[in-house]
A and B are shown apart, each in its own frame.
Chain A
Amino acid sequence: MFLRLVADSFRRRPRRQLLTGAALALGMAVATAALSVSLDVDDKLGREFRSLGANLVITPQADSLPLEIGGVDYRSANAGAHLPESDLPKLKTIFWHNNVVGFSPMLDVPVQAWSPAFQRFSNPDAVEATTLTGTWFDQPVALPDGSTFETGIEKTNPWWHVDGAWFADSAAECVVGKNFAKRNSVKLGDTVNVSAGDHGHWNALRITGVLDSGGPEDDGIVAPLAIAQALSGKAGQYRRAYVSALTKPEDDFARRDPRSMNSDELERWSCSPYVSSIAYSIRQAIPGSDVRVIRRVAEGEGRVLTRVRMLLWLVTLAALLTAALAVGASSAASVMERRTEIGLMKALGAGSGAVGFLLAAEQLLLAVVAGSVGYGLGMFLARVVGERIFGAAPQPSLLVVVLILTLAAAVTIMGSAIPLHRASRYEPAPILRGE
C-alpha cells in the first residue's frame, strides 16, 4: 500500500514532480561540476606549473663557490667537484619517483670556437671565446627496473625555444645561442669548431638549431653532454643537474628541519610530496650530492597554487550552498501545496509519523533519481570545462558520486522538514473545509 501511494503520487502529478526533480538535478549538476573541477585542479595546475621548469638543483657537495657572472663561470675548468652521470638513474628509484617529471645534467666548458662561416674569418681574431654547455636533449635513461625514461632539457627548461631542431644526443651536433649566431652570422647547417684550450685538436659540430633561451645561454653553444665531457676531460661526469618535480605547496610543517622531528612526524613529512622532502630523498639516493630547492620557483608556485585552490574551493562551496538553498526551497514548496492531501490522509486515520514518512520517502526517491541525472549532467559540464582549459577531462571519482547523492538526499529532507513539521500539526477538518 505504501509503495502504491508513493508510485501513485508520481503518476498522478508527473509535471509537478518533474519540476521539483529538474531543480534538484540542476542544483546537483552545479555541485558535481564545481566539485570535480576543484578536486582535479591541483593536479592539473601542478603540471602547468612545470612550465616554470626545474624546481630542484643537484650540485656536488664538495664544490667550491661558483664565480658566475652573467652565465659565465670564472673558475678554471678543473676547479670544483663533479658528480658521476651513472648515478642519475637513481632519481627514478626514490620514493617520489613518479613525481619526478624530468631531469637534465649540465656541464659547462669554456671553449674557443671558430667556423668557416664566421664573417670575421679573414681577421686574426676569428676565434671566439665562449661557453659550451653540455646537456641532454632527449636521452633514454635505463632504469634499474628495466624500463627506460626519456628526459632532457625540454622538461627542465621548457621556455627554451629552438629555431630548427635540437641536436641528437649521440651525434656531433649542437645548437648555438641566438646572440652567438647573430654576432658571427652562422646559420643552420653550418659547422662550428670548438676546442678547450688545446688548439691542436678541434671538434667539428654541425649546427642543428638556434637557441632562444632568454638567458646567458643565448651567447654560447649547447651541445650533447658527451661532447662537453670529452672536451673537458671529465668523462661520465656533470657539474649540476636540474630536476623538475611535481610537489605539494609547502606549509609551516614542511619547512621544519627533518632532524628536529620525531619518528611519526618524520614519516608524515617524508610521505608528503613537499619539495623539501623530495630534495631530502634525492640527497639520500645520490652520494656526495647537495640538493637545493630553487626557492624562487618553488615558493612562487606554492603560493599561487594555495591561493587558486582556496579560491576554487570557496566558489565550489558557494555553488553547493546555492544549489542546496534552491533545491530546499523547491521541495519545501512541493510539500506545502499538498495541504489538502495531508488533511485527507489524517482524516482517514493516518498518524503524523506515517504521513511524514510517506512524503519523506517520496522526496528521497526523487533525490536519488534527480541526483543521478544531475551527476551525469555535471560530469558532462566538468568534462567540457576540463577539456577546454587543460586539454584533459577530470577523472570521475567515486567520492563525488557519493557526496552528490548524500547532498541531494540531505537537502531535500531538510527542505521538506519544516513544512512537514507544520503539516503534522494540521487539523484535518479546517483543511478539508478549504479554510
Chain B
Amino acid sequence: MEYRSQNRRMFWRMVWRLLGARRGRLLMILLALGAGAAVTSALLNLQVDAKRRLTSEFRTFGANMVVEPKSDHSSGALAGTLLESAYESVPVAPASAGGKSALLVLVGQVRSTAGVTQAVIVGLRTHGSAGSDDPTVSDGGAGLPASPQRETTCSIGSKAAAALRVAKGDELSLEQGTRQLRCEITSVDPPGGEYDSDVLVPLAAAQELSGLSGRISSVRVSYPGTPSQVNAFIATLVQRLPDANVRGLRQFTEAEGKIYDRVSGVLTATVAIVLILTGLCVMAVMTNVAMERRNDVGLMKAIGGASRRVLRLFLAEAAVVGFIGGILGAGAGLVISIWLGKAVFGVAARPRLIVYPVSVLLTIIVAIAGAYPLRRLASIRPASVFRGEA
C-alpha cells in the first residue's frame, strides 16, 4: 500500500519536473493550447449568442404579422373593423424585442391654412417597438380620449406635408362628415416611410373622428424569432383570435427566414472550420514538441521504466498542460466574446456556462491526441539514443 502511494507521488513528481524542465517550451505549448481554447470558447459563445441576436435585429423590418377582420365583403359601418379588445389580447413578445400597434384607417378631409386635400388618416396606438419605421404618436397615455377642446397632436408624412405646405408646429383641421378635429403637427416623418402620404393621430382621436369608438382596422405585430418561432406565434394568435384573420407578412417572414438560414449557415461553417483547423494546428505543435523527447524516453527506459509507464507519464503531462491551457484560454475567450458581442451588437454576449467546460475538455482531448505520436517512442531502443544515433 505504502509502496503504491509512494509510487504515485513519484509519478506526479516526475510529471511536475517534466513540465518545469524547460520553461520556454512549456510556455510555447501553453500559448498554442490557450489560443486554441480561447478561440473555441469565444466562437462557441458568440455563435449561440449571435443567432439569437440576429433574429431580434430583424425587428428593423418592422411588423411581420397582421391581424385583420375576416374579409367577408359585408357592408355597414362596422364592416372591416375589429374590436379594440383584439389588440389587448395579442400577447406582447419578450420585452424590448417585439411590439404591436393597433390601427384605425379612414379617409378624411385635411385642411391647413395653405390648402385642403383628401388624405388617409391613421389612428395609431403602439406598445413596445413595432419597428424602426413606425412613427411615434404620443397619445398621452394609452386610450386617453381626445381632450374636450377636440385638440390633439399628430404627425404627418413628408408627401402629405408637401401637398398641404405645412411644417412642424402648424395646425391642421381634420374632418369626416360632420365630425371635426383640430391637431398640432408634432413631427414630419422623413420620406420613404410607409405613412408617407398619411396623417397620423392617436387611436382615440381617430375613433372619435370616424364615430367608430372601440373599433380598429388592424393590429400589426412585430415578433422576433427564428422562422419556426414566428410560425408558432402566428398559430397561437389564430387560436386566441378566432374572429380575425391572422397572417404573416410574407414579404418579411419569408426573406427573414431565408437570410437567417444563410447567415447562421455561414457562421456555423466558419466556426466549424476554425475549430477543426485550430485543433489540428495545436496537434501539430504538440507533436513537434513530443518528438524531441527521445532522450528523456531513452533514459527512462535505460533505468528500467516500462514502455507503458513511460507513456502514461507523458500522457499525464499532456493532460495537465491541456487542462491549464484550456482554463487560461477559456477565460481569455470569455473576455473576447464579451468584447466581440459588444462590438457587433452593442450588447455584451451573455456568457453560456456550458461553453467553458466544453472548450476545456476539447483542449485536453486535443493535447492528448497531440501526444499520440509518443506511442512510437515505445519502440525506441535506449542504446541507440545514447549512442547519439538519430
Q: Mark B251-282, 1 if CB is under 8 A from A, else 0.
A: 11011001100110111011101100110111
- Are B344 and A318 touching (Cβ within 8 A)? no
Binding site secondary structure of chain A: helix
Q: In the assembly, what is the distance between CA of A336 and CA of B292, in Å?
A: 10
Q: In the assembly, what is the distance between CA of A321 and CA of B277, in Å?
A: 13
Q: In the assembly, what is the distance between CA of A149 and CA of B29, in Å?
A: 60
Q: Determine which residue in A303, A316, A389 has the highest number of CB atoms from chain B within 10 A of its CB, and name it.
A: A389
- Are B194 and A26 touching (Cβ within 8 A)? no
Q: In angstroms, how far is the closest chain B Cβ from the Cβ of A74? A: 6
Q: In the assembly, what is the distance between CA of A213 and CA of B249, in Å?
A: 9
Contact partners of B277 in chain A: CB under 8 A: 26-27, 29-30, 323
Known: A26-B280, A45-B263, A329-B28. A294 touches B288 (CB 8 A): no
Q: In the assembly, what is the distance between CA of A326 and CA of B32, in Å?
A: 5
Q: In the assembly, what is the distance between CA of A37 and CA of B39, in Å?
A: 18
Any chain A CB within 8 A of the CB of B60?
A: yes
> Which segment, of A14-22, A85-93, A199-207, A399-407, faces chain B?
A14-22
Known: A16-B291, A26-B284, A333-B285. A389 touches B265 (CB 8 A): yes
Any chain B CB within 8 A of the CB of A151?
A: no
Q: In angstroms, how far is the closest chain B Cβ from the Cβ of A414? A: 13
Within 8 A of B (CB), among A26-42: 26-27, 29-30, 33-34, 37-38, 41
Any chain B CB within 8 A of the CB of A67?
A: yes
Any chain A CB within 8 A of the CB of B31?
A: yes
- Are A307 and B54 touching (Cβ within 8 A)? yes
Q: In angstroms, how far is the closest chain B Cβ from the Cβ of A22? A: 5
- Are B344 and A314 touching (Cβ within 8 A)? yes
Any chain A CB within 8 A of the CB of B50?
A: yes
Q: In the assembly, what is the distance between CA of A323 and CA of B278, in Å?
A: 7
- Are A312 and B270 touching (Cβ within 8 A)? yes
Q: In the assembly, what is the distance between CA of A333 and CA of B24, in Å?
A: 9
Q: In the assembly, what is the distance between CA of A280 and CA of B308, in Å?
A: 77
- Are B118 and A304 touching (Cβ within 8 A)? no
Any chain A CB within 8 A of the CB of B138?
A: no
- Are B120 and A49 touching (Cβ within 8 A)? no
Q: In angstroms, how far is the closest chain B Cβ from the Cβ of A336? A: 6
Which of A30, A33, A38, A304 makes the CB contact (< 8 A) with B58?
A304
Q: In angstroms, how far is the closest chain A Cβ from the Cβ of B77? A: 15
Any chain A CB within 8 A of the CB of B214?
A: no
Which of A215, A294, A327 makes the CB contact (< 8 A) with B192?
A294
Any chain B CB within 8 A of the CB of A66?
A: yes
Chain A minimum-CB-distance residue to B346: A307
Within 8 A of B (CB), among A1-57: 15-16, 19-20, 22-23, 26-27, 29-30, 33-34, 37-38, 41, 44-45, 48-49, 51-53
- Are A65 and B274 touching (Cβ within 8 A)? no
Any chain B CB within 8 A of the CB of A368?
A: no
Any chain A CB within 8 A of the CB of B336?
A: yes
- Are A322 and B35 touching (Cβ within 8 A)? yes
- Are B288 and A19 touching (Cβ within 8 A)? yes
- Are A65 and B265 touching (Cβ within 8 A)? no
- Are B266 and A389 touching (Cβ within 8 A)? yes
Any chain A CB within 8 A of the CB of B25?
A: yes
Within 8 A of A (CB), among B266-315: 266-267, 269-271, 273-274, 277-278, 280-282, 284-285, 287-289, 291-292
Contact partners of A299 in chain B: CB under 8 A: 60, 132-133
Binding site secondary structure of chain B: helix
Any chain B CB within 8 A of the CB of A259?
A: no
Any chain B CB within 8 A of the CB of A293?
A: yes
Which of A49, A74, A381 makes the CB contact (< 8 A) with B107?
A74
Contact partners of B107 in chain A: CB under 8 A: 67, 69, 74
Contact partners of B31 in chain A: CB under 8 A: 325, 329
Chain A minimum-CB-distance residue to B105: A69
Any chain A CB within 8 A of the CB of B345?
A: yes
Any chain A CB within 8 A of the CB of B319?
A: no
Q: In the assembly, what is the distance between CA of A297 and CA of B62, in Å?
A: 9
Q: Mark A56-85, 1 if CB is under 8 A from B, else 0.
A: 000000001111111000100000000000
Chain B minimum-CB-distance residue to A294: B192
- Are A332 and B28 touching (Cβ within 8 A)? yes
Give the interface size class of chain A.
35 or more
- Are A333 and B288 touching (Cβ within 8 A)? yes
Contact partners of A409 in chain B: CB under 8 A: none
Any chain A CB within 8 A of the CB of B36?
A: yes
Within 8 A of B (CB), among A277-316: 292-300, 303-304, 307-308, 310-312, 314-316
Contact partners of A385 in chain B: CB under 8 A: 266, 269-270, 273
Q: Determine which residue in B132, B274, B282 has the highest number of CB atoms from chain A within 10 A of its CB, and name it.
A: B274
Q: In the assembly, what is the distance between CA of A319 and CA of B289, in Å?
A: 23
Any chain B CB within 8 A of the CB of A330?
A: yes
Q: Determine which residue in A19, A157, A310, A323 has the highest number of CB atoms from chain B within 10 A of its CB, and name it.
A: A19
Q: In the assembly, what is the distance between CA of A23 and CA of B366, in Å?
A: 14
- Are B343 and A314 touching (Cβ within 8 A)? yes
- Are A65 and B251 touching (Cβ within 8 A)? no
- Are B282 and A326 touching (Cβ within 8 A)? yes
- Are B262 and A311 touching (Cβ within 8 A)? no
Contact partners of B118 in chain A: CB under 8 A: 65, 67
Any chain B CB within 8 A of the CB of A337?
A: yes
- Are A22 and B284 touching (Cβ within 8 A)? yes
Q: In the assembly, what is the distance between CA of A333 and CA of B288, in Å?
A: 7
Any chain A CB within 8 A of the CB of B250?
A: yes
- Are A292 and B269 touching (Cβ within 8 A)? no
Contact partners of A159 in chain B: CB under 8 A: 250-251, 254-255
Any chain A CB within 8 A of the CB of B182?
A: no
Q: In angstroms, how far is the closest chain B Cβ from the Cβ of A90? A: 22
Q: In angstroms, how far is the closest chain A Cβ from the Cβ of B239? A: 20
- Are B32 and A329 touching (Cβ within 8 A)? yes
Chain B minimum-CB-distance residue to A385: B269
Chain A minimum-CB-distance residue to B281: A326
Any chain A CB within 8 A of the CB of B131?
A: yes
Contact partners of B372 in chain A: CB under 8 A: none
Which of B60, B192, B278 makes the CB contact (< 8 A) with A292?
B192
Q: In angstroms, how far is the closest chain B Cβ from the Cβ of A286? A: 17
- Are A69 and B120 touching (Cβ within 8 A)? yes
- Are B58 and A311 touching (Cβ within 8 A)? no
Q: In angstroms, how far is the closest chain B Cβ from the Cβ of A238? A: 18
Contact partners of A389 in chain B: CB under 8 A: 262, 265-266, 269
Any chain A CB within 8 A of the CB of B247?
A: yes
- Are A303 and B120 touching (Cβ within 8 A)? no
Contact partners of A37 in chain B: CB under 8 A: 266, 269-270
Chain B minimum-CB-distance residue to A332: B28
Contact partners of A390 in chain B: CB under 8 A: 262
Q: In the assembly, what is the distance between CA of A319 and CA of B120, in Å?
A: 54
Q: In angstroms, how far is the closest chain A Cβ from the Cβ of B47? A: 9
- Are A327 and B281 touching (Cβ within 8 A)? yes
- Are A300 and B270 touching (Cβ within 8 A)? no
- Are A381 and B273 touching (Cβ within 8 A)? yes
A-B contact pairs, 27 of them (CB 8 A): A19-B284, A23-B281, A37-B269, A37-B270, A49-B259, A51-B258, A52-B61, A53-B255, A64-B117, A65-B159, A65-B197, A215-B250, A292-B192, A292-B196, A296-B61, A296-B193, A297-B61, A299-B60, A299-B133, A304-B60, A310-B343, A315-B267, A318-B39, A318-B274, A322-B35, A329-B35, A333-B28
The 8 closest A-B pairs by CB, nearest first: A214-B250, A23-B284, A295-B192, A326-B281, A300-B61, A325-B35, A300-B60, A30-B277
Known A311-B267, A316-B270, A318-B43; 7 more pairs at CB < 8 Å: A30-B278, A52-B255, A65-B118, A292-B192, A326-B282, A336-B28, A419-B24
